[in-house]
Amino acid sequence: KNQVEQSPQSLIILEGKNCTLQCNYTVSPFSNLRWYKQDTGRGPVSLTIMTFSENTKSNGRYTATLDADTKQSSLHITASQLSDSASYICVVSEGNNAGNMLTFGGGTRLMVKP
Amino acid sequence: NAGVTQTPKFQVLKTGQSMTLQCAQDMNHNSMYWYRQDPGMGLRLIYYSASEGTTDKGEVPNGYNVSRLNKREFSLRLESAAPSQTSVYFCASSGFGLSTGELFFGEGSRLTVL
pLDDT at A2: 84
Q: Do A44 and B43 touch (CB under 8 A)?
A: yes
> Are B56 and A100 an interchain contact pair (Cβ–Cβ within 8 Å)?
yes
Query: Which residues are CB-neighbours of A60 under 8 A, at least 6 positions away?
Result: none
| A3 touching chain B per CB within 8 A | no
Cα atoms in the Cβ-side hemisphere of radius 13 Å centred on A22? 8
Task: Look at A102 and B40 and tell me if their CB atoms are within 8 Å.
Answer: no
pLDDT at A91: 94
Asked if A99 has any chain B CB less than 8 Å from its own CB, the reply is yes
The string of pLDDT tens digits covering residues B55-72 is 999 999 999 999 998 999
Distance CA A38, CA A15 (A): 19
Tens of pLDDT along A1-23? Answer: 789 999 999 999 999 999 999 99
- Across the interface, of A4, A102, A105, the residue whose CB is closest to B98 is A102
The confidence score (pLDDT) of residue B42 equals 87
Contact residues on chain B for A8, CB-CB shorter than 8 A: none
The more confidently predicted of residues B81 and B96 is B81
- What pLDDT was estimated at residue A80? 97
Residues whose CB falls within 8 Å of the CB of residue A8, separated by 6 or more in sequence, listed in order:
A21, A22, A108
Q: Does A103 touch chain B (CB under 8 A)?
A: yes
Q: For the CA atoms of chain B, what is the radius of gyration?
A: 13
Residues in A 46-65 with any Cβ partner in B closer than 8 A: 46, 49
